[in-house]
Amino acid sequence: MYAASREALTQTRAALSSALGSVSAGAATAAAAQIGAELFSVVEILDEQRTLRSALSDTSTPGNVREGLAEQVFGGKVSAETLAVLKAAVGQDWSVTSDLLNSLVLVGRESLLKAAADQGQLDAVEDELFRLGRIVAGDPKLEQALSDRSVPAKRKRELLSKLLYGKVTAVAEALATQAVGRLKNSAPADAFDELSNLAAAQREAVVAKVRSSAPLSSEQSDRLTATLTRTYGKPVTVHVEVDPELLSGLVVRVGDEVIDGSGAGRLAALRKSLK
């Protein structure tokens, strides 16, 4: 994202903060959830209507004119708070049209996660999205169904919604189904991992993805979390996936850093040293 779009995103986030600050404290959580859901709906419409999205992102047109068009099209169809965020976004000069749409999605996600945080559900949402990614990655048929470009986005959303209904928080379901409908080149599991990481980022936590040869006990998990927290100097969320092929031990990945303490890793290092 170029500088113009980064600044535009900053201004759009500021508009979200202002919109949420304009409602009463008791209504802020519901407003955050509504803004997120409505921004997703707006993006869905813009994805389908090329002429409209081009007009709303055309930098040769004054920003106030673009804002007026947004109000003309979406006024009365979304809440006043959502409309304020949308007008702030289209009034900015974005480097490319895709930056506008992707940023509306991002701000929508952040608004939904704000609602989850207000309800004390942020940890649950993060964990649910991570586990969903692992489930999809381990089910080739489901992964194919969710990533098939010949299948309309609406049908993929409906499929995932049916699978998740009543099993995860409403915010996790909303985030996951929206992501499935806009998959580009990424695999569904990667998209869910990205959402899980975004949830962790909302509470300034580091995400450690752990592959273990056997399930970790609560005590082992707590010790690992404490060790990583000391190492990185900030809260660490540990997501564990059991992988018997490791033979023993575990592999920890934090960002681009990998700590391989597995039996399989030690064998591979031994083989390499003997060549």
| Chain segment 181-225, per-residue pLDDT in tens | 998 877 999 999 999 999 988 887 778 888 888 888 888 888 888
Q: What is the pLDDT of residue 26?
A: 83
Q: For residues 43 and 108, is the Cβ–Cβ distance under 8 A? A: yes
Instruction: Name the CA radius of gyration of the chain, rounded.
Output: 21
In this prediction, the residues of the chain whose per-residue pLDDT falls under 50 are none
* 97-118 and 3-21 helices, crossing angle to 10°: 30
Which single residue is written with the structure tokens 């969903």? 132
Sheet strands side by side (includes 257-260): 236-242, 206-212, 250-254, 257-260
Q: What is the pLDDT of residue 17?
A: 95
Cα distances (Å, whole numbers) of residue 70 to 26, 28, 207:
28, 24, 38
Dist CA 117 CA 111 (whole Å): 10
For the record, the structure tokens of 221 come out as: 């998990």
Q: What is the pLDDT of residue 271?
A: 61
Q: What is the pLDDT of residue 218?
A: 86
Dist CA 179 CA 190 (whole Å): 10
Cα distances (Å, whole numbers) of residue 226 to 13, 127, 237, 238, 250:
33, 18, 10, 10, 16
Q: What is the pLDDT of residue 235?
A: 83
Q: For residues 192 and 132, is the Cβ–Cβ distance under 8 A? A: yes
Picking from 239, 238, 245, 240, the residue whose alpha carbon sits closest to that of residue 213 is 245
Q: What is the pLDDT of residue 196?
A: 93
> CB neighbours of 243 closer than 8 A, spacing ≥ 6?
211, 212, 213, 251
Task: Give the three-class secondary structure for 168.
Answer: coil
Q: What is the pLDDT of residue 256?
A: 79
Q: What is the pLDDT of residue 267?
A: 57
